[in-house]
């Protein structure tokens, strides 16, 4: 079994220089799942998959830095050279209302028809993956995900503050992709996010085998995030960078 994660976007809050916002491509053999699709991420995704090759998109929450390129992917699919089936999108219950805000009234149904929308709640199964979702501690309807691909487990925090649900979902995971918006360089409190040291504490507590720090604010230094994390986490830690590939093993 070959389960691989590719980072498509890692920037926190807004696109950094040469960096897209949150997005991760998970592949289990030929099956694919995209976790979040922030601004700039589609450009990176298209290096790996054509628009008709995306199996499903899972959105953690409806803040623009986590979903804005869904518009672009739907546009690419709508005008593809042949008709495509609706794209499976697993999302918070307010997803379509948020998405429709930018679309003229007469085109909203067309937009809806491009998707097969599934809401978070019970466990979700899509080809190649099973996903368990629990609520994050972040403004709005925000979810954290535990994705199983065969016997490999990945946990994605989306945006969150430290919370028990995160420890639950990350328990024994092969990889935890965790909100690390701020570092000890700038411990400014921003509601609903984590410091790199808190991400590391969560990984340590959950016994996650590997930690990927992400959503780092673009003006902060990645080296500080790594140092902060290594002080409290005894296993392997990296900072997410575009096109980084991690094989889950
Ligand atoms: Zn957010």
Say what the pLDDT of residue 144 is. 98
Residue 51 is given by DSSP the state G
Say what the pLDDT of residue 184 is. 86
Query: Residue 48 belongs to what domain range?
Result: 3-247
Cα separation, 96 vs 89, in Å, equals: 10
Cα separation, 22 vs 14, in Å, equals: 9
Say what the pLDDT of residue 75 is. 96
Pairing of strands 3-9, 23-28: antiparallel
Q: Which residue's entry shows tokens 């509601």?
A: 191
Residue 224 is given by DSSP the state H
* Beta bridge partners of residue 58, listed in sequence order: 35, 90
Calculate how far, in angstroms, residue 129's C-alpha sits from the geometric centre of ligand 1.
24
Calculate how far, in angstroms, residue 4's C-alpha sits from the geometric centre of ligand 1.
25
In the chain, which stretches have pLDDT less than 70? 187-189
Residue 24 is given by DSSP the state E
Calculate how far, in angstroms, residue 118's C-alpha sits from the geometric centre of ligand 1.
20
State the total domains in the chain. Answer: 1
Cα separation, 91 vs 59, in Å, equals: 5
Calculate how far, in angstroms, residue 139's C-alpha sits from the geometric centre of ligand 1.
7
CATH number of the domain encompassing residue 36:
3.60.15.10
Calculate how far, in angstroms, residue 13's C-alpha sits from the geometric centre of ligand 1.
8
Cα separation, 209 vs 195, in Å, equals: 19
Residue 85 is given by DSSP the state P
Calculate how far, in angstroms, residue 79's C-alpha sits from the geometric centre of ligand 1.
30
Q: State the DSSP H helix or E strand holding residue 126, giving kind and residue range, or none if neither.
A: strand 124-126
Calculate how far, in angstroms, residue 86's C-alpha sits from the geometric centre of ligand 1.
26
Q: State the DSSP H helix or E strand holding residue 153, giving kind and residue range, or none if neither.
A: strand 152-156
Say what the pLDDT of residue 188 is. 67
Calculate how far, in angstroms, residue 138's C-alpha sits from the geometric centre of ligand 1.
7
Calculate how far, in angstroms, residue 184's C-alpha sits from the geometric centre of ligand 1.
20
Question: How many Cα atoms within 13 Å fall on the side-chain side of residue 70?
Answer: 36
Whether pTM exceeds 0.85: yes
């Amino acid at each position: 079994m070959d389960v691989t994660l590719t980072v498509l976007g890692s920037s926190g809050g807004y696109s950094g220089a040469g960096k897209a916002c949150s997005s991760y491509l998970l592949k289990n053999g030929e099956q694919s799942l995209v976790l979040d699709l922030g601004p700039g991420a589609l450009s990176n995704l298209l290096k790996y998959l054509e628009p008709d090759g995306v199996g499903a998109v899972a959105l953690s929450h409806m803040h623009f830095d986590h979903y804005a390129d869904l518009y672009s992917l739907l546009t690419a699919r709508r005008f593809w050279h042949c008709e495509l089936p609706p794209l499976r999108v697993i999302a918070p219950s307010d997803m379509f209302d948020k998405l429709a805000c930018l679309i003229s009234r007469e085109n909203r149904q067309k937009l809806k028809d491009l998707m097969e929308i599934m809401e978070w709640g019970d466990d979700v199964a899509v080809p190649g993956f099973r996903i368990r979702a629990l609520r994050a501690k972040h403004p709005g309807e925000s979810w954290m995900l535990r994705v199983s691909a065969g016997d490999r487990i990945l946990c994605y925090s989306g945006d969150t503050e430290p919370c028990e649900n995160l420890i639950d979902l990350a328990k024994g995971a092969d990889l935890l992709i965790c909100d690390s918006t701020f570092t000890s360089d700038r411990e400014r409190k921003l509601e609903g996010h984590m410091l790199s040291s808190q991400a590391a504490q969560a990984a340590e507590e959950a016994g996650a085998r590997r930690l990927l720090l992400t959503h780092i604010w673009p003006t902060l230094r990645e080296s500080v995030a790594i140092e902060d994390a290594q002080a409290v986490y005894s296993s392997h830690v990296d900072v997410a960078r575009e096109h980084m590939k991690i094989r889950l093993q």
